[in-house]
Amino acid sequence: MANKRPGGGRSTSRQAAKFLGVSVLSGAVLAGIALPAAGALGLVAKGSVEGFDEIPANLKRPPLSQKTSILDSEGGLIATVYSRDRTVVPLKDISPHMRKAIVAIEDERFYEHGAIDLKGILRALNKNAQSGEVSEGASTLTQQYVKNVFVEEAGNDEKKFEAATQQTLGRKIQELKYAIQVEEELGKKKILENYLNITYFSQQAYGVEAAAKRYFSKSAKDLELQEAALLAGIVQSPSRWDPVVNGDQALKRRNLVLDRMAEQGHVGKDEAAEAKKKDLGLDVSKPQNGCITAVNGAGFFCDYVRKVFLGSEEFGKTREERNKRWNEGGMTIRTTLDPKAQKSVQASVKEHVYQSDEVAAAVSLVEPGTGKILGMGQSRPYGLAKDETTINYSVNKSMGGGMGYQPGSTYKPIVAAAALERGVNPSRSYPSPYEMTYPSPVPKCEGQWSSANPPKVANENESEVGPYGMREATAKSVNTYYVQLISDIGICPVVEMSEKMGIEPAGGDELKQVPSVTLGVQEMSPLTMAAGYAAFASRGTYCTPVAIESIKDANGKSLDVPKSKCTRAMNERTADTMNTLLKGVVEDGTGTQAGLSGRPSAGKTGTTDSRYAAWFVGYTPNLAGAVWVGDPQHQRKMIDITIGGDYHPKVFGGGVPGPIWRDAMAGALEGKEAPGFVEVPIADPPKKDDKEKDEDDRKPRDRFPGGGNGGLIGGGGDGGAEPNPTFSIPEGFIQGPGNGSGGRR
């Protein structure tokens, strides 16, 4: 305690030492500025200060992070995303009041000195010596700009940010040398412009344009005198003089700026006095950042666009490069989203499925022949509150979705297309009894699937007894017909057709080569199904889904964007035949409630095992769409349930998803041409006398009776009873050994 005075103060000798140390260090800085060669003397403090001449001469100025605008196909704003809310503007678009105010309060001799204000340093030396510590800096606007460059470069890296803001002699010397370079290269006007665009104004606002919008809901070019003075007063201590949080302090600070402006002749004394009489005049705009602010329920599509960007090598070879570019922002991203189609999707979902319902719905619309995603929405909004989610039910897991949902009988058309491609005549009939044992063995791409104890499979009703041809079997979704069909052609052609149509499991696994593939028990996403069915609509051409039309960077330069890859999935004759078959589904089959008025349409219903999910996937020649309804957790059976205010004893694919699809498509296609399909004559095989059908037979049906078996007995249809306890499923029949029954997660 020898160095302490009574009462805890420093001794006289301690104060003198401190005074001497501060003076010497400050003098060294001054010497290094005035005479760069003095750096050779080794200005070092505990190894933290480099020699002045050893500091790199070139200041790398990273692009300023700005907000990115995500637009729909017509140029309407979907959402604004940013890591820092900033819009860079030229000096001419910044109010003269603002330019004068910032100079007055931050660097009154800005236009008179060079990179360093020697008078300011001497003044700081004097004050620091008197206080015994470094209590005042002498940073010019140029030096402050350099410091902000370091902060900008640090981004969200805490260690880099700490290094950029630490108060050390070494950092000060580095700033000073770079300031000399900046003054030589840029000149005063450009330095002032850069400073006003880079500096932080609190309330998440970076740069004067964002600050003007945040506090006054106007552009920087329109700032009035008192408004400019308020903003200029914030930058020295953004938290202390934040006018939203500390109004009284901000008002005093603003008036101080006005006084300084009057003293320095930037404004008249009377004008300044008049401005001081006004209140803060805030008109605060809340930050609108991120996909959560997207319009028309497009938050999920917005997030999909972000994931497409981060996953595309067009925007950087590595994930790190793409992340950096996204965070820098400043881009204008025009997407494929059709605003009319999107509004129609959301209106239909909202009408038929409530946000608070036990189950959810998701819709995806895709343009045949281009792969453009025109609409994407769901009943649970994008967010973190109750009955909200950030999981995009429309897409695969890798793109922000879940593990997908069993598509049930909506997968049967892929089996039919595979058969047609192998030369199977659509008039081919099968006995299609009400109930049968699943044939075994069934050929795979390599080897064969076989079961020593194959289970039985049944149709929806006992009255559904063949023989059936492909047309009637598809319209009624006859399970035993499709079981025999895949047994004849084998599993491999179906897997290959699925790949050609881009239909893949949502979780990222390969499609398993098991007989139950015909029953739609392997989980898919709505976007996958919509894009796959679009291949039928475009007469056999499959196009990968795309969400981005074009991107311009902060300088207006166009960037390369991912393009849809279109390939032939099947020949035109096959596609035309499928269109004829699926047109019959909506005309007199299980999908009549989905039929569009005034334009040809086609599609397929599907309801999965125990009604955990129900689907309708359909299309016109110029638009394809998929609708899924169900419990994302695979826990709530859609039996004895109310959805969208309507009670359903049992949910069918044509009964709930069908009308959602109909209304979404009708609104999206309103005012557009209504082309027809190229149809193929399909003869039905001769049948025995039809049996009398009961009332239940008129209900939509495309599933087996059954449940709890992973979809073999109940996975491929659209109606039916509870599981038949006499049925048993051998291990490996549904998804292969070790995968359980139905692969449900």
State pLDDT tens for residues 244-297: 999 999 999 999 999 999 999 999 999 999 999 999 999 999 888 899 999 999
Two tokens, residue 337: 């989203």
What rounded mean pLDDT belongs to the chain?
83
331-348 confidence digits (pLDDT tens): 999 999 999 999 999 999
Residues 117 and 100 in one domain: yes
pLDDT at 710: 31
Query: Domain end: 629, 646, 680, which one?
Result: 680
**Is residue 133 pLDDT above 80, yes or no?**
no
In a domain, 223, yes or no: yes
Statement to judge: residues 480 and 623 lie in one domain:
no
Asked if residue 475 and residue 391 are part of one domain, the reply reads no
Residue 118: pLDDT band with limits 50, 70, 90:
confident
Contact between 364 and 625 under an 8 Å Cβ cutoff? The reply is yes
pLDDT of residue 407: 95
State the CB neighbour count (10 A cutoff) for residue 286. Answer: 9
Which residues touch 434 (CB under 8 Å, ≥6 apart)? 458, 459, 461, 462, 463, 464, 465, 480
Q: Among the residues of 434-570, which ranges form H helices?
A: 470-476, 479-489, 491-500, 526-537
* Full domain range(s) for residue 201: 85-277
Residues above pLDDT 90, as percent of the chain: 63
Q: Is the peptide bond before 526 cis (omega within 30 degrees of 0)?
A: no
| Both tokens assigned to 454 | 């194959």
* Mean pLDDT confidence for 37-41: 34
Asked whether the predicted pLDDT for residue 559 surpasses 60, the reply is yes
In degrees, to the nearest 5, what angle opens at C-alpha 291 toward C-alphas 156 and 561?
85
| Per-residue pLDDT band at 154 (split at 50, 70, 90) | confident
Given this model, what pLDDT does residue 113 score? Answer: 87
The pLDDT value recorded for residue 602 is 96
Number of domains in the chain: 3
Q: Are residues 504 and 529 in the same domain?
A: no
Q: Where are the beta strands (DSSP E) in 383-518?
A: 435-437, 442-443, 448-449, 456-458
Looking at 644-708, list the stretches that DSSP marks H as alpha helix, in order from N- to C-terminal side: 657-669
What does the pLDDT read at residue 739?
Answer: 30
Task: Provide the H-helix boundaries in 82-207.
Answer: 96-106, 118-131, 141-154, 158-165, 169-186, 188-198
For residue 8, being part of any structural domain is answered with no
The string of pLDDT tens digits covering residues 418-477 is 999 999 999 999 998 988 888 889 999 999 988 888 888 888 778 888 799 999 999 999
How much is the pLDDT for 589?
Answer: 85
d(CA 537, CA 556): 37
Q: What pLDDT is stored for residue 660 in this prediction?
A: 98
546 and 606 within one domain: yes
Residue 239 lies in a domain: yes
Which residue, of 495, 523, 551, is where some domain finishes?
A: 523
pLDDT of 702 higher than 50:
no
**Per-residue confidence (pLDDT) for residue 57, from 0 to 100:** 52
CA angle 290, 296, 299 (to 5 degrees): 30
Task: Among 67-81, 109-123, 439-453, 509-523, name the most confident range.
Answer: 67-81
443 phi, psi to nearest 5 deg: -65, 145
Is 70 exceeded by the pLDDT of residue 389?
yes
Characterize the bridge pairing of strands 77-81 and 68-71: antiparallel
pLDDT score, position 687? 62
E strands, 379-489, are: 435-437, 442-443, 448-449, 456-458
Tell whether 512 and 602 lie within a shared domain.
Answer: no
In a domain, 308, yes or no: no
pLDDT of 716 > 80? The answer is: no
Q: What Rg value do the Cα atoms of the chain yield, rounded? A: 35
Whether 58 has a pLDDT exceeding 80, the answer reads no
Specify whether the CB–CB gap between 220 and 94 falls below 8 A: yes
What pLDDT score was predicted for residue 629? 98
Residue-level pLDDT at 131: 61
Longest Cα separation, the chain: 118
Round to whole Å and give the CA distance between 581 and 733: 29
Q: Are 502 and 541 in contact (CB under 8 A)?
A: no
**Does 24 have pLDDT greater than 90?**
no
- pLDDT 10s digits, 604-644: 999 887 889 999 999 999 999 999 999 999 899 999 999 99
Query: Rounded to an integer, what distance in angstroms lies between the CA atom of residue 126 and that of residue 172?
Result: 18
C-alpha to C-alpha distances, 196 to 102, 231, 341, nearest whole angstrom = 8, 10, 41
Q: Are residues 379 and 431 in the same domain?
A: no
Asked if residue 397 belongs to a domain, the reply is yes
181 pLDDT band, cuts 50/70/90, is confident
CA of residue 656 relative to chain centroid, distance: 28
pLDDT at residue 712 tops 60: no
Of the candidates 629, 651, 680, which is a domain's last residue?
Answer: 680
Say whether both 221 and 124 belong to one domain: yes
What's the confidence (pLDDT) of residue 367? 98
The predicted structure's pLDDT at residue 689: 54
Question: Would you state the pLDDT for residue 744?
Answer: 27
* CATH classification of the domain holding 343: 3.40.710.10
Query: Three-state SS for 660?
Result: helix
pLDDT at position 688:
58
Residue 33 has pLDDT above 60, yes or no: no
- Planar angle of CA 437, 441, 442, nearest 5 degrees: 100
Distance (Å, whole) CA 570 – CA 276: 76
546 with 453, same domain: the answer is: no
Max mean pLDDT range (56-65, 153-162, 318-327, 689-698): 318-327
Task: Indicate if the alpha-carbon torsion angle 425, 427, 431, 434 is positive or negative.
Answer: positive
- Do 384 and 476 reside in the same domain of the chain? no
Q: Same domain, yes or no, for 113 and 260? A: yes
Of residues 115 and 716, more confidence is placed in: 115
CA distance 433 to 484: 10
Over 541-607, what HEC string results?
Answer: EEECCECEEEEECCCCCEECCCCCCEEECCCHHHHHHHHHHHHHHHHHCCCHHHCCCCCCCEEEEEE
- For tokens 């036990």, the residue is 358
Non-local (6+) Cβ contacts of 307 within 8 A are 399, 400
Q: Is residue 304 part of a domain?
A: no
Q: Name which of 231-240, 291-300, 691-700 the model is least confident about.
A: 691-700
340 domain residue, yes or no: yes
DSSP code per residue over 207-275: SHHHHHHHHHSS-GGG--HHHHHHHHHHTTSTTTT-TTT-HHHHHHHHHHHHHHHHHTTSS-HHHHHHH
Residue 64: inside a domain:
no
Do residue 512 and residue 565 come from a single domain? no
Note the pLDDT tens digit of each residue in 188-205. Answer: 999 999 999 999 999 989
Does the pLDDT of residue 84 top 70, yes or no? yes
- Mean per-residue pLDDT, 549-561: 95
Sign of CA dihedral 213, 217, 219, 225: negative
